[in-house]
């Protein structure tokens, strides 16, 4: 069977090719329109050049504004679903939307990214360990090793098409052998369409569900059910013994839940500052060394 991640990337490549083709066609259309308008303009070359530039600028600006408006409206597609939980959406970025609030006396945090798309929902729970159950992909194998997670081999045939990971395999196996949590994990990762990538996870202080490559309109109506499933999983996990070595909630993970856009901005600014610093140091080094390198030797 083809890797689901590879299938999703293939669909994304096709979409990007179509978008690129449409963009090129629009630009060529604006050029043709601007040339036609300029050719019909009486006067010298300066007047015709001004008309050409004005028509082309107006056309490109209209498309840019329309694209941004469309993206901003599409990023709000899940607002109605979270409104049923009493949680309003917010977003400082066009393609991202955040949701933060309380529901059934538990904190709910979610991030929706229009590109992908991707939805990450966490519901507060007194969990002190970490495990993940998700769609098996080649990319997941790489990420699991990078984050120090070990694959947990379960005899349960219901998990045959999934991959279970944890830093504490024995604890994860005990957790998923309990009927309540087993059923909820399987429900959370079941995708009837066969096109999604899903990861259900127990994390320090929360239960989490991540979904990628779905139809946003369909998912909007599923938001309350997702929250209910995660809350039920949290209650089930809270009733079970914690791992022998508890996993602490890091400040980075806490910020990723409660303020993902702000954290992303900080990381981006940090990367830019790092690049500028390295560039500045390299440039200063070249300038300091260049006189000694280029100084002619005495006779």
Are residues 186 and 52 both part of a single domain?
no
Res 152: pLDDT: 87
| 62 CB-contact burial (10 Å; exposed 0-12 / middle 13-18 / buried 19+) | exposed
Residue 262 has pLDDT above 80, yes or no: no
Q: Classify residue 255: in a domain, yes or no.
A: no
In sequence order, the 6+-apart residues with CB closer than 8 A to the CB of 81 are: 219, 220, 221, 222, 223, 224
pTM given for the model = 0.71
Mean pLDDT estimate for the chain: 80
* End residue of a domain, out of 52, 74, 96: 74
**107 forms bridges with which residues in the sheet?**
102
Give the pLDDT band of residue 105 (cuts 50, 70, 90): very high
Q: Classify residue 267: in a domain, yes or no.
A: no
Residue 294 has pLDDT above 80, yes or no: no
Q: Classify residue 293: in a domain, yes or no.
A: no
Are residues 20 and 154 both part of a single domain?
no
The DSSP line for 242-288 is PPSSPPPPPHHHHHHHH-HHHHHHHHHHHHHHHHHHHHHHHHHHHHH
Give the pLDDT band of residue 267 (cuts 50, 70, 90): confident
6-35 pLDDT tens trace: 555 555 565 566 666 766 777 777 677 767
* End residue of a domain, out of 56, 74, 92: 74
Res 299: pLDDT: 45
Are residues 40 and 167 both part of a single domain?
no
Are residues 178 and 217 both part of a single domain?
yes
Are residues 50 and 145 both part of a single domain?
no
Are residues 62 and 89 both part of a single domain?
no
Q: Classify residue 276: in a domain, yes or no.
A: no
Are residues 105 and 224 both part of a single domain?
yes
Lowest mean pLDDT among 80-84, 231-235, 283-287: 283-287
Q: In terms of residue numbers, what domain contains 236? A: 80-249
110-127 pLDDT tens trace: 999 988 789 999 999 999
Are residues 60 and 168 both part of a single domain?
no
Q: Classify residue 87: in a domain, yes or no.
A: yes
41-68 pLDDT tens trace: 776 677 777 777 777 777 777 777 766 6
* End residue of a domain, out of 25, 46, 74: 74
Are residues 106 and 218 both part of a single domain?
yes
Are residues 118 and 35 both part of a single domain?
no
Overall domain count for the chain = 2
Pairing between strand 150-151 and 162-166? Answer: antiparallel
Helices (H), the chain: 4-39, 45-74, 79-83, 138-146, 169-177, 179-189, 216-220, 223-238, 251-258, 260-294
Are residues 67 and 92 both part of a single domain?
no
pLDDT, average across residues 194-214 = 91
Are residues 212 and 93 both part of a single domain?
yes
Q: Classify residue 277: in a domain, yes or no.
A: no
Q: Classify residue 224: in a domain, yes or no.
A: yes
151-175 pLDDT tens trace: 888 889 999 888 899 989 999 999 9
Q: Classify residue 285: in a domain, yes or no.
A: no
């Amino acid at each position: 069977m083809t890797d689901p991640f590879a299938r999703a990337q293939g669909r994304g490549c096709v979409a990007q090719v179509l978008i690129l083709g449409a963009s090129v066609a629009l630009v060529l259309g604006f050029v043709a329109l601007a040339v036609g308008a300029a050719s019909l303009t009486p006067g010298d070359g300066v007047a015709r050049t001004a008309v050409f530039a004005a028509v082309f600028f107006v056309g490109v600006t209209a498309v840019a504004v329309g694209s941004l408006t469309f993206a901003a409206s599409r990023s709000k597609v899940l607002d109605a679903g979270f409104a049923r939980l009493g949680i309003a959406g917010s977003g400082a970025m066009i393609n991202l939307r955040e949701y933060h609030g309380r529901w059934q006396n538990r904190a709910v945090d979610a991030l929706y990214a229009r590109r992908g798309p991707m939805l990450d929902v966490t519901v507060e729970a007194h969990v002190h360990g970490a495990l993940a159950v998700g769609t098996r992909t080649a990319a997941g194998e790489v990420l699991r090793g990078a984050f120090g997670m070990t694959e947990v081999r379960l005899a349960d045939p219901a998990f045959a098409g999934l991959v279970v990971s944890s830093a504490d395999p024995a604890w994860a196996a005990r957790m998923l052998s309990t009927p309540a949590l087993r059923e909820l994990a399987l429900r959370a990762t079941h995708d009837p369409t066969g096109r999604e990538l899903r990861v259900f996870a127990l994390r320090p202080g929360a239960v989490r569900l991540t979904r990628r490559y779905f139809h946003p309109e369909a998912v909007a109506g599923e938001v309350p059910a997702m929250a209910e499933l995660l809350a039920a999983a949290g209650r089930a996990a809270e009733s079970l013994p914690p791992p022998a070595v508890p996993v602490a909630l890091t400040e980075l993970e806490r910020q990723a839940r409660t303020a993902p856009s702000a954290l992303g901005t900080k990381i981006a600014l940090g990367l830019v500052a790092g690049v500028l610093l390295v560039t500045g140091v390299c440039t200063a080094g070249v300038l300091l060394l260049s006189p000694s390198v280029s100084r002619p030797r005495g006779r």
